[in-house]
Structure 1
Amino acid sequence: MARLTGPVLMIALAVAAYVLFPFNLAFLTRIVIMILLVLSLDLVLGLAGIATLGQAAMYGAGAYAAGLFAIHVWADPLAGLAVGALAGAALAGLSGLVLMRTQGLTLIMLTIAVAQICAEIANRARDLTGGADGLRGIRMQPVLGRWDFDFIGQTAYWYACAVLAVVFALLVLISRSPFGLSLRGIHESPERMEAIGAPIYRRRVLAYAIGGAIAGVAGALTAQITQLVSLETFAFALSAEALIMLILGGTGRLYGAVIGTVIFMTVHHTAAANDPFNWLFVIGAMVLAVVFFLPSGLIALPTALGRLFRGGRHAGS
């Protein structure tokens, strides 16, 4: 039962958001998709300790793969998700064979390079991808043959929420499995894990590939819902924003990815609407406050407040 708590909570929050903001479904859907991308980064960075700024590479690969699959092969949404996941996993797995042999700044720079190479390939293959104009003409069939993608965005929203619940449940199982626990051990002390005979390199590559598959699913959702794929799916800014969201919420706990994404995108949306020129100041101030006062992320706020309350009560007595 405890393993079902996360997905059930995701659905409950989705229902509440739908009831409270019925005219902002497009924005809510973008939040859900971004949560998927940040969750993939949490698996790679928060759980396995793999430093990366190129998660957009797998996101873009999944988006282009799902879009091309829908145009030329089959427009079924679930089949497109599977294709996007395979594309993201394949790119992460193949590049991970090289990347996981490095670490630190070298690893970070190489992950950025992979995303930039993918962007250039997509730009050059104009006959296939549309180049700088983007991949257009994506028309999806109804979800499960019953629910059409409507103009209001209700089907897209619930479709994205259902995918998020499934992925979140999968990540909960992975984090609690022996494989997930070994990834935590590799993150905390690779020397000790190597001393007990753990195959560090293989598990890091596998974790990177799984994270790539989830990022590919997020990209596929974007392609199916927006019916457009642009070169921006490979943008460095996307990977950087995902990292900021994860840091805000807290790494390695899954729920931190959800909290950080919701807060970042809500503040971003509100601040940009109120002041289109200085909204970055608000984002920067928020990130600095969290880094200085809550190094573990916003997910640790209840614990910090509890300690503060107990400390004040003891001082008063």
Structure 2
Amino acid sequence: MTTSTSIGTPSHPQSGTADALGRYRRSARWKPLEYLFWCLPILAYFAFPGNYLLLSQIAITSLFALSLDLIFGYAGVISLGHAAFFGVGAYTVGLLGSNGFGDPLLGLVLAAAIAALLGFLSSFLLLRGSDLSRLMVTLGVALMLYELANKFTSITGGVDGMPGVEVGPILGMFDFDMFGRVGYVYSVVVLFVLFWFARRLVYSPFGQSLRGIRMNTLRMPALGVPVNRRLITVYTIGAGYAGVAGALLAQTNSFVSLDVLSFQRSADLLLILILGGAGHLYGGLLGAIVFVIANYLLSDMNPQYWQFWLGLILVLVVLFARGGILGTARQWIESSRQRAQSRARTESPS
């Protein structure tokens, strides 16, 4: 006597698991569009030889946005004080350069370590409340650091900043030039290396658990996921990334000011991530490109009221592209694919 299985139910559970694992591995592979995207910095190097400083700013802002995307886009931890880690990284390089330690790679490592340590210590406060309390905690940490930097003027320079930060040649061979050529290549290389690591991270089981925490925090402990440990880890990594971005800004500009710790920088970062699309990795990068270029063009066209037009663009994005540039594009592609499949099923003979 044979038993029948219900329609649509696999006879072997292992086959369903294998199919899901196969789909997951395919999604983790690099896509052709990704290779094309990373050709753009190379193209920009030759196409815009007089704008290396602007291109460096785009690369640094992209890394800064990537750091928040790991925290907000994947773990769902919103922050209004992410500039605290950015500023710590910048001041770390500034203090090193002022004391004769101008090696760029040493500055990046120490900036990442100190910012990550601050993120680790402050992450325990984030676990004690809801999204609103987390906003207040992150904002409070950034404001305290801002006032500390403003108070100890003998160390940080206060409102006058720290000019003339000495930065040595990269690997002892490549000096930073006044046109920003070396600084741009340096920033793009650091961005790519850290992006590659972040991509490996989000496509790992750790990254998938972060997605689960963002979608349903209460259910994940029942699946054996240590939620608090995951949040502490990703917050620490995101803080380290932000510290590296701040260090790059200080090294390429040879200057550090209180602006690196300002609330405006944190707010702009959140807008960049919303503009590009949170939770996609490339969303923060696209948002940084659009935001920095729009900022540059609008301020040049209308120096007095350029923020009005930038605000209008952001309002339109929220109204008509709530998933950001990348999220909306993916939704459009998916809906087009579904319509094509539905049309093919309708036209196919029964």
The match for 2:123 among 96, 105, 114 is 96
1:146-175: CA deviation from partner (whole Å, max 9, x where unpaired): 110001110000000000000110110110
Task: Determine the C-alpha separation between the residues in 1 that align with 2:34 and 2:111.
Answer: 22
Structure 1 residue 303: deviation in Å? 3.8
Paired residue for 1:86? Answer: 113
The match for 2:239 among 202, 207, 212 is 212
After superposition, where does 1:6-17 map in structure 2 within 5 Å? 8-9=35-36, 11-17=38-44
Give the counterpart letter for 2:256 in structure 1: V
Paired residue for 2:64? Answer: 37
Q: Which moved more, 1:130-139 or 1:40-49?
A: 130-139
Q: Which moved more, 1:284-293 or 1:35-44?
A: 284-293
Paired residue for 1:188? Answer: 215
Which SS does the other structure have where 1:75 is aligned?
Answer: coil
Structure 1 residue 88: deviation in Å? 1.0
Structure 1 residue 93: deviation in Å? 0.8
Q: Confirm or deny that 1:156 pairs with 2:183.
A: yes
Taking a change above 3 Å as real, the CA distance of residues 223 and 20 of structure 1, as seen in their structure-2 partners, is: same
Task: Determine the C-alpha separation between the residues in 1 that align with 2:140 and 2:328.
Answer: 36
Taking a change above 3 Å as real, the CA distance of residues 215 and 194 of structure 1, as seen in their structure-2 partners, is: same
Size of the alignment, in residue pairs? 315
Task: Determine the C-alpha separation between the residues in 1 that align with 2:78 and 2:40.
Answer: 30
Query: Normalized against structure 1, the TM-score is what?
Result: 0.93
1:20-56: CA deviation from partner (whole Å, max 9, x where unpaired): 2110111111111000110000001001100111110
Give the counterpart letter for 1:75 in structure 2: G
Paired residue for 1:199? Answer: 226
Task: Determine the C-alpha separation between the residues in 2 that align with 1:302 and 1:118.
Answer: 38
Which SS does the other structure have where 2:166 is aligned?
Answer: coil
Task: Determine the C-alpha separation between the residues in 2 that align with 1:113 and 1:50.
Answer: 15
Task: Determine the C-alpha separation between the residues in 2 that align with 1:38 and 1:244.
Answer: 10
Give the counterpart letter for 1:293 in structure 2: F
Paired residue for 2:261? Answer: 234
Paired residue for 2:45? Answer: 18
Q: Which runs of 5+ in 1 are unaligned?
A: none
Taking a change above 3 Å as real, the CA distance of residues 298 and 191 of structure 1, as seen in their structure-2 partners, is: same
Q: Confirm or deny that 1:126 pairs with 2:153.
A: yes
Task: Determine the C-alpha separation between the residues in 1 that align with 2:331 and 2:226.
Answer: 37
Task: Determine the C-alpha separation between the residues in 1 that align with 2:330 and 2:178.
Answer: 43
Give the counterpart letter for 1:302 in structure 2: A
Which SS does the other structure have where 1:98 is aligned?
Answer: helix
**Are 1:61 and 1:88, in contact at CA under 8 Å, matched by a contact in 2?**
yes
Task: Supply the RMSD in Å over aligned alpha carbons.
Answer: 2.2
Larger helix share, 1 or 2: 1
Paired residue for 1:75? Answer: 102
Task: Determine the C-alpha separation between the residues in 1 that align with 2:80 and 2:33.
Answer: 27
1:105-153: CA deviation from partner (whole Å, max 9, x where unpaired): 1110111110010011111222211122112331111111111000111
Q: Confirm or deny that 1:280 pairs with 2:307.
A: yes
Percentage of matched positions with identical amino acids: 39
Give the counterpart letter for 2:89 in structure 1: G
**Are 2:322 and 2:328, in contact at CA under 8 Å, matched by a contact in 1?**
no
Task: Determine the C-alpha separation between the residues in 2 that align with 1:215 and 1:57.
Answer: 9
**Are 2:280 and 2:327, in contact at CA under 8 Å, matched by a contact in 1?**
no
Please say which structure displays the higher CA radius of gyration: 2
Q: Which runs of 5+ in 2 are unaligned?
A: 1-27
Paired residue for 2:250? Answer: 223
Give the counterpart letter for 2:140 in structure 1: A
Paired residue for 2:55? Answer: 28
Give the counterpart letter for 2:154 in structure 1: D
Task: Determine the C-alpha separation between the residues in 1 that align with 2:337 and 2:74.
Answer: 31
Taking a change above 3 Å as real, the CA distance of residues 269 and 132 of structure 1, as seen in their structure-2 partners, is: same
Taking a change above 3 Å as real, the CA distance of residues 221 and 303 of structure 1, as seen in their structure-2 partners, is: closer
Structure 1 residue 12: deviation in Å? 1.1
After superposition, where does 1:98-113 map in structure 2 within 5 Å? 98-113=125-140
Give the counterpart letter for 1:276 in structure 2: P
Paired residue for 2:280? Answer: 253
